[in-house]
Structure 1
Amino acid sequence: MALVTSKEMFKKAYEGQYAVGAFNVNNMEIIQGIVEAAKEENAPLILQVSAGARKYAKPAYLKKLVEAAIEDTGLDVVLHLDHGENFEICKQCIDDGFTSVMIDGSKYSFEENIALTKKVVEYAHERGVVVEAELGRLAGIEDNVNVSEKDAIYTDPNQAVEFVERTGVDSLAIAIGTSHGAYKFKGEPKLDFERLEKITKLLPNFPLVLHGASTVIPEFVEACNKYGGNIPGAKGVPEDMLRRASKLGICKINIDTDLRLAMTAAIRKYLTENPEVFDPRKYLGEGRKAIKEMVRHKIKNVLGCSNKK
């Protein structure tokens, strides 16, 4: 039971052709639901904190909540910074005890991205922390990440090899057609598996990461809309595509939108059916249960990492 890095997790995931779930956390109930599911499924686990979560809950609270979850469940957990936008944020998280950080230099030129990533890698590796970087740009909106469809760029396989070699990064988030948020596809969902296979072939045994990979589970969207929400046309990445990706070198799959939808749907339903309730423990408890069941589903049916701890 400890905070650990993702090195051993990713090695096992690559060899076993499954993915580790990286779940974004914002409060106590979300953390509790996720870790309870991971414990029941005996699954490896990454809890990640975005810039928005840091602003909302404050880093000290989130770190202590994760530590409490480890103490309560006996799990080994990777505490990861999601989309660190500069060296200073990555440094702060490393100094605060995070075991993994992502430096997102995808908005910069190739050379600038390399220079920034290398700087973070050098600081992190000296302190036993692993680093994820991003090459290519995903469309969509998530916290402070906002990339229009026209500005999205798929990852170039040859550049990926050069990037990894020159930066010494531990894992790489690639762009093959996923996007952030609940509106990932206007037409039929499509991922560029040919591009993924080429990157995997050029970077054998190297862990790749898929961002923007929530499936936007229809039942949660429908429940949100049924009980007063307004989320028309939301569409995510089909589960079979994620399972295929995990067999082609994707070792980490990020999940955030599905957590939000599951919790919100459960809370909306409970408050609509119980209008007299004003005790936060009751409706937040329903949200926590929904998180747990959704994460168990992901672990068993999408990630394939049940009993892989």
Structure 2
Amino acid sequence: MPLISSTEMLQIAKTNHYAVCAFNIHSFEMLQAVAEAAAETSSPIIIQTSINTVKYLGLNYLVAAAAAASENTGIPITLHLDHCTDFDMIVRCIRAGYTSVMIDASMHPFEENVRQTRKIVEIASAGGVNVEAELGNVGNASEDSLPGVEGLELADPEACKLFVESTRVATLAPAIGTVHGITRQHPEIDFARIGQIAENVDAPLVLHGGSSIHAAHLRKAVELGIAKVNVATELRVAFSEAIRQVFSSRPEENDPRRYMNAAKEAVKRLAIEKMEICGCIGKAGDI
């Protein structure tokens, strides 16, 4: 099976009230791990990369590896460019074979966000590539600090409706109280806002900052209309911690296949846990 656009995948998830997990990978081992998790559970997945990961691993290498994962597993897989502000990079990724891209112009005034998003939609739609955009400010958090809901620029439900109608963007990531990264306390999610936005727009909704959310809260967000859940930092931490544990118990270890395999298994376990929470296990046949 070739890489597919996430447009239909996420519409199906929205209709059937589950969410597809979108995993940010930082190495080819992480890519293999989430693909294996999807194959073992028959779950559709979205493999995501940041601009820095594209630069680190190489654009053509990434597309080839993701395509190989899709062909080898037979699982519906989307390759997505996450949080990109660089127009040229988005175009390069589309031409190279990415099947979904995110134009993040959320730091700009509403009208400029609309203009930039519409421009990418016009380019991507010709090839059936999904486009995601953000409204409001999801923000970032450290382990020691977490802004409350009132401290974030949350997405206005009416603005979301106007934004989707003006841009025809396929998927929308509204700021609803979550933050990127892992924090010591759980984010204060505005669940009522999720429901209001879901009622206002036809586009599937994306939850950014899925690493610090309590399982029960994540399930509730999915029930209210979230169709895509992004997980990044938590995977990276699990991967790194597994390698640290190998060297802690076996300081003399020098075979990358051994310590990388431990890291892959840790990522796979966590990926399956997130898939179970989001309700997408066994849903590969829906696509």
TM-score, with length taken from structure 1:
0.87
**What secondary structure does 1:106 align onto?**
coil
Among 199, 218, 224, the residue aligned to 1:248: 224
The equivalent of 1:154 in structure 2 is 154
Q: 1:260 offset after TM fit, Å?
A: 0.6
Percent identity reads: 42
Gaps of 5+ in 1: 215-235
Q: Does 1:196 align with 2:198?
A: no
Q: 1:151 offset after TM fit, Å?
A: 7.4
**CA-to-aligned-CA distance 1:5-43 (integer Å, 9 cap, x gap):** 112211221121110000012222101110111011100
Q: Figure out how many residues of one structure are paired with residues of the other and give that number.
A: 280
**CA-to-aligned-CA distance 1:43-69 (integer Å, 9 cap, x gap):** 011001111211221212211111221
Q: 1:72 offset after TM fit, Å?
A: 2.1
Shift of the 107–148 alpha-carbon distance from structure 1 to 2, 3 Å rule, reads: farther
The equivalent of 1:220 in structure 2 is none
Q: 1:109 offset after TM fit, Å?
A: 0.5
The equivalent of 1:61 in structure 2 is 61
Q: 1:303 offset after TM fit, Å?
A: 0.9
Question: What pairs with 1:71-90 in structure 2 (closer than 5 Å)?
Answer: 71-90=71-90
The equivalent of 1:225 in structure 2 is none
Question: What pairs with 1:289-304 in structure 2 (closer than 5 Å)?
Answer: 289-300=265-276, 302-304=277-279
Q: 1:281 offset after TM fit, Å?
A: 1.2
Gaps of 5+ in 2: none
The equivalent of 2:107 in structure 1 is 107
**What secondary structure does 2:217 align onto?**
helix
Q: Does 1:41 align with 2:51?
A: no
Q: Does 1:209 align with 2:197?
A: no
The equivalent of 2:169 in structure 1 is 169
- Matched AA of 2:163: F
Question: Where do 4+ consecutive residues of structure 1 move more than 3 Å?
Answer: 147-152
Q: 1:247 offset after TM fit, Å?
A: 1.1
| Further displaced range: 60-69 or 268-277 | 60-69
**What secondary structure does 1:140 align onto?**
coil
**What secondary structure does 2:224 align onto?**
coil
The equivalent of 2:8 in structure 1 is 8
Root mean square deviation, CA, Å: 1.8
Shift of the 112–180 alpha-carbon distance from structure 1 to 2, 3 Å rule, reads: same
**What secondary structure does 1:139 align onto?**
coil
Query: 8 Å contact 1:2–1:75 — kept in the other structure?
Result: no
Residues of 1 paired with 2:139 and 2:50: CA distance?
17
The equivalent of 2:281 in structure 1 is 306
Query: 8 Å contact 2:7–2:171 — kept in the other structure?
Result: no
Q: Does 1:267 align with 2:264?
A: no
Q: 1:71 offset after TM fit, Å?
A: 2.6
